[in-house]
Chains A and B, each alone.
Chain A
C-alpha cells in the first residue's frame, strides 16, 4: 500500500521555503557550502543551490558526499555497498556547511556525513537540511531545515522520488517489510 505525501509542487514549495530559511538563518549565503548526501541528497542540494542563487544573486558552492566508507553498519548486512566518489570542490575550513539529504530517519547517515565532512577540514558550523523528517532518531541529531515532518511507524518506508533519479517528483509512504536503511 502506497500513499503520496508530497507532490512535485509540494517539493518545490518546501525547497523554496528551506532556501529562505537558510538565508534568514545565515544572514545571506556568504561562506555557505551545500553538500548533498548520495544519492538523492545530491539533486536536492543542486536545486537548493539554484534557488539560493536566484534569491541572492550569488553562486553557492556545491559538493557531493558518499558516506559509505563512514557507515557504522558495514558489517551488519551482506556485501559492502559500492562506493562512489566524494567531491567537495572548495576548502570547507571556516565555511558554513549545510548537509542536504532526502529523508532523516535514525540519524546515522548524518553522523557518518559529519565525520566525513570534518575529515576535509574544520568548518565553522554544520547545518542539516532534509526534505522529510520521519522521526525514530537513534542519535542526538536534529535537522535545522525540514521540508515536511511525517509521523511514521518503523516498518513503514518513506520513498523520495526525484526527476533526476526516478523520472518524477514525489514522496510516498509505503507499508514495507524491508528495514529502513541507514
Chain B
C-alpha cells in the first residue's frame, strides 16, 4: 500500500481495502497467540494524539501499536501544551522534532488530520475528525461483515440514526460503496445530510435515503445503529429523545424485518434504550463485541502497511 496517510476512505481503491483485510487476517492470527507481539515496528514511535474523549479507539490503537512492538506515546489535549494555547501545527512540529514516526489523531474539527498530514513527514492516521471521517471504524465494520457473512459486495447495509453528525456513516458510505455493497441511510429528516440538493456532485457514491425505518430494514443483511450524539444535539434537531426512540430505536420487532441472521452492528459507545434496545445489543445477531476486537487487527494492519512508506517510490 503506497500511501503516507489514512485520512478517509474516499481515496482508497477496492484493491487497497482488500489488502488491508488480508493483512488484518494475519494480524488476527497474531492476536490468537499466547504471546500477542511481533517485532515488525520495533524502534518506531507512534504518537496517539486525542483532542476528544475515547475509550475503544484510543485503547485499540495503543494495543495495535504495542502488539507490533512500536513505542507508544499518548497525549490528550487536556494534559498537554494544547491547554496552554499551543496551535495544532506547533504541536505537530514539536512531536515531529521529538521523533514521532506516526501520529494517530482524533480532533473535533473536521479536516484537522489533513492539516497535520501536511506538516508531518511521517504518517497520519485519522482516528475521527469532527463530523467528517472515521476510516479505521469503517474498515473494521466492513472487515466484520466480511468475516461473518463472507463478503462485502452486494450486501444490503442499513445505517440508522444521526447520519448528519456521523463520521462513521460518512466513511462507511465511501468504503461500502467502493466494495460493492448497497447502502441505505435511515434517520429523522433533520438528522440527514442534504444529499438530494447537491445533485451536481456526481462523484459521490450512490446511497438510498429512507426515512421510514420499517421500509429501510426490509431485507437488510446488516443493520448498523449510530449513537445519538447528545453533545451535538443542541440545535433542536430532535423534538425529544422519546420521539426518536419511538420512531427509530432498533428493537427486536424492527430487526425481524431484516434477513434472518442479519448482523446488528454499532460503533459504540451505545446509548442503550435510545438508539438500540438493550436486548438487541446483546442478541445472538449482535456482532458489536466482534467489531471491537477486529478493530485491533485492522489498526495493526494499517500501522504495518503505513510503516513501509518511504516517500515517493517508483
Contacts and interface: CB of A to CB of B under 8 A. Distances in A.
Contact of B23 (A82, A116, A120): A82
Nearest to A118: B35
A82 B308 contact: no
A180 interface: no
B92 interface: no
A121 B40 CA distance: 19
A140 interface: no
Nearest to B29: A85
A83 B304 contact: yes
A121 B33 CA distance: 10
Given A119-B33, A120-B34, A80 B26 contact: no
Given A78-B310, A115-B39, A119-B33, A66 B26 contact: yes
Contacts of B40: 68-71, 74, 80
Contacts of A71: 40
Nearest to B27: A83
Interface in A75-122: 78-80, 82-87, 115-116, 119-121
A116 B313 CA distance: 30
Candidate in A66, A71, A78 with the most chain B CB atoms within 10 angstroms: A78
Interface in B10-24: 19, 22-23
If over half of B's interface residues share one DSSP class (helix, strand or loop), that class is named, otherwise mixed; here it is loop
A84 B26 contact: yes
A56 B2 CA distance: 49
Contacts of B68: 69
A70 B34 contact: no
Contact of A119 (B22, B35, B308): B35
Contacts of B23: 82-83
Contacts of A79: 1-2, 305, 308-310, 313
A71 to B, nearest CB: 8
Contact of B29 (A68, A70, A78, A87): A87
Interface size class on chain A is 20 to 34
B268 to A, nearest CB: 28
A10 B68 CA distance: 41
Contacts of A120: 33-35
Interface in B274-314: 304-305, 307-310, 313-314
B308 A80 contact: yes
Contacts of B37: 119
Contact of A70 (B35, B38, B308): B38
Contacts of B310: 78-79
Nearest to A112: B39
B25 interface: yes
Nearest to A86: B29
Contacts of B75: none
A132 B37 CA distance: 31
B270 interface: no
B38 to A, nearest CB: 4
A85 B40 CA distance: 15
B153 interface: no
A116 B68 CA distance: 13
Nearest to A81: B308
A54 to B, nearest CB: 30
Contacts of B25: 84-85
A116 B33 CA distance: 11
A41 B35 CA distance: 24
Given A69-B39, A80-B305, 13 more contacts: A68-B40, A69-B38, A70-B40, A79-B309, A79-B313, A82-B22, A83-B27, A84-B22, A85-B29, A115-B39, A119-B33, A119-B38, A120-B33
6 contacts: A68-B40, A80-B307, A83-B27, A85-B25, A85-B26, A119-B34
Nearest 7 pairs between A and B by C-beta? Answer: A80-B308, A69-B38, A83-B26, A79-B308, A69-B40, A119-B35, A85-B29
